[in-house]
Amino acid sequence: MSALITTAPSNTAPAAPELVHRRGRWIDGWDPENQAQWKAVGRRIAARNLRWSIFAEFLGFVVWQLWSIVVVSLPAAGFAFDTAQTFWLISIPSLVGATLRFPYTFMVPKVGGRNWTIVSAALLLLPAIGLAMCVANPETPFGVMLLVAALAGFGGGNFASSMANITYFYPQREKGWALGLNAAGGNLGAAVAQLIVPIVVTIGAGVTLQLPLAGWVWVPLILIAVAGAALRMDNLSHAKADFAASVAAFREPHLWLLSFLYLGTFGSFIGFAGVFPKLLADQFPEFSGIHLGATTLQLAFLGALCGSLARPYGGRLADRFGGATITMIAFGVMAATTVTLILTLPSLGFWGFLGLFLVLFATSGIGNGSTYRMIPTVFAWRAGAADAHRSSGDIGTQRKAAAALGIIAAIGAYGGFLIPQVLGLSKSATGGYGAGLSWFVVAYALMLAVTAVVYVRGGRRSGTRL
């Protein structure tokens, strides 16, 4: 009888592993791959953290791009900076932000995702308040303005830590969607900054008195993000820094090739987003008056908006047709569009100029999604080709690909510095932007060739769609 009792089948589903909540909103025992835990409590906790992560990253992009729109109004506010100084104010936030993405990636496992979101969001107060104070006084020295503009790079670093944090919360089967939402929410901050600031500075007593609001208006939202992170986000004790995988990723030749391609896609998006208001104001000064209506400042946001909204479609097209194919097509369209801009620049009207740049933004956004989608696929392809030479001590493909995603995202962000600098040099040397745009055509053609030869052709030879 005892034997019959012990062999009776049980229909009871396994209980979800218990989560332990410790002081400081630390969670032990997190395992999103465990279906029972995920359905019971995991999904709800992850979604709550994702919402506040998106909000904080969104504000990071807002602050990162503030100077791109503010510089257009500086002459009307009494500032007299030359072309080189103006383009340094536009580009220095991207230089600092791209560099900060490297250490920011490792801060989440070091101090906790919630804790670092509090710190990184609070740091946004420095560039926001600093901008407001600087532009209130036309006597502010250029060196001080440049330092405060550099502080806006804190916003650019936020992307890396935010993406790293959300990676730990979601199971592998849902990472793509969660990270896509996180990235898109952040990228939209660039468009919103360029939409809201012109409206703020045109309400009231004129640009000289209203321009400081370009910084002050974001302070309450930053404080809300800090409070929200403190009260609603969590730290995961299982999040660990994978330095070994990062070192291994740096040794992969494809890391550098993919970084080169991402510099052309995301770098173009963030670089042109930063410089677009200045380009419109210089090419069409009759549209740059500070008043409500069809002004340069109020239309500049359309570029960043198109690029942001196009990014998810790049990933979706890559899923269907292959990331390398879509990336190659994107570079072809970007090169052709830029050539058209150069050839028609002297006579092209405002709406034609705007339309061509919106095509460039949308295509760069599609390229962002497709190139980023290529990274894990290329690393898996590389691992398959090297199986015969692999040693038991090699770092796993998934670990290297995960590390590569952060490194490539950081390198790509340097485009936000390079594109304004190239265009600024072109403007100073020739009085126009045609020469600078021609260099981009050469770069896009080279990137197209690399994609076609290494990834489209190479993938076909091995029977793999990259």
pLDDT at site 432: 86
- Reported as a pLDDT band with limits 50, 70 and 90, residue 52 is very high
How much is the pLDDT for 30?
A: 86
Say which amino acid occupies 424: G
Which of the given ranges, 215-224, 244-253, 297-306, has the highest pLDDT on average? 215-224
Q: In the predicted model, what is the mean pLDDT of residues 117-134?
A: 95
Report d(CA 456, CA 366) in Å as an integer: 17
Q: How confident is the model at residue 198 (pLDDT cuts 50, 70, 90)?
A: confident
Provide the pLDDT for residue 392. 39
pLDDT, residue 425, reads 92
Residues in CB range of 294: below 8 A, 6 or more apart: 287
Which of 210-214, 319-323, 375-379, 385-389 has the lowest average pLDDT?
385-389
Q: Tens digit of pLDDT for each residue in 3-43?
A: 444 444 444 445 666 787 888 888 888 888 888 888 888 89
pLDDT of residue 128: 95
Q: How far apart are CA 280 and CA 429, in angstroms?
A: 19
pLDDT for position 210: 81
- Highest mean pLDDT (candidates 25-29, 138-142, 277-281, 400-404): 138-142
pLDDT band at 97; cut points 50, 70, 90:
very high
Amino acid at 340: T
Residue 115 has pLDDT above 70, yes or no: yes
pLDDT score of 460: 83
Which of the listed ranges 72-81, 277-286, 432-441 does the model predict with the highest average pLDDT?
432-441
pLDDT tier at 49 (50, 70, 90 boundaries)? very high
Selected residue with higher pLDDT from 13 and 164: 164
Amino acid at site 90:
I
The residue-averaged pLDDT of 98-108 equals 89
Exposed/middle/buried for 173, CB within 10 Å: 0-12, 13-18, 19+? exposed
Antiparallel, parallel or unpaired: β 235-236 and 20-22 = unpaired
**pLDDT digit string (tens) for 342-378?**
998 877 888 889 899 999 999 999 998 888 888 888 8
pLDDT at 287: 56
Q: What is the pLDDT of residue 393?
A: 44
Tokens of residue 317, six digits = 């097209």
Per-residue pLDDT averaged across 58-68, rounded? Answer: 92
Cα–Cα distance list, 70 to 201, 274, 278, 378 (Å) = 9, 10, 10, 40
- What type of residue sits at position 229? A
Answer whether residue 55 shows pLDDT above 90: yes
Ramachandran angles phi, psi of 236, nearest 5°: -110, 120
Which of 128-132, 294-298, 407-411: highest mean pLDDT? Answer: 128-132
Model pLDDT for residues 434-443, shown as the tens digit of each residue: 899 999 999 9
Residue 173 in this model has a pLDDT that exceeds 70: yes
Kindly state the average pLDDT of the residues 141-162: 92
CA dihedral 357, 358, 361, 365 (to 10 degrees): -160
**CA 116 to chain CA mean position, Å:** 18
- The chain-wide mean pLDDT, for the chain, equals 84
What does the H/E/C string look like for the chain? CHHHHHCCCCCCCCCCCCCEEECCCEEECCCCCCHHHHHHHHHHHHHHHHHHHHHHHHHHHHHHHHHHHHHHHCHHHCCCCCHHHHHHHHHHHHHHHHHHHHHHHHHHHHHCHHHHHHHHHHHCHHHHHHHHHHHCCCCCCHHHHHHHHHHCHHHHHHHHHHHHHHHHHCCHHHHHHHHHHHHHHHHHHHHHHHHHHHHHHCCCCCHHHHCCHHHHCCHHHHHHHHHHHHHHCCEECCCCCCHHHHHHHHCCHHHHHHHHHHHHHHHHHHHHHHHHHHHHHHHCHHHCCCCCCCCHHHHCHHHHHHHHHHHHHHHHHHHHHCHHHHHHHHHHHHHHHHHHHHHHCCCCCHHHHHHHHHHHHHHHHHHHHHHHHHHHHHHHHHHHHCHHHCCCCCCCHHHHHHHHHHHHHHHHCCHHHHHHHHHHHHHHHHCCCHHHHHHHHHHHHHHHHHHHHHHHHHHHHHCCCC
Q: Which residues contact 254 (CB under 8 A, 6 or more apart)?
A: 378, 379, 382
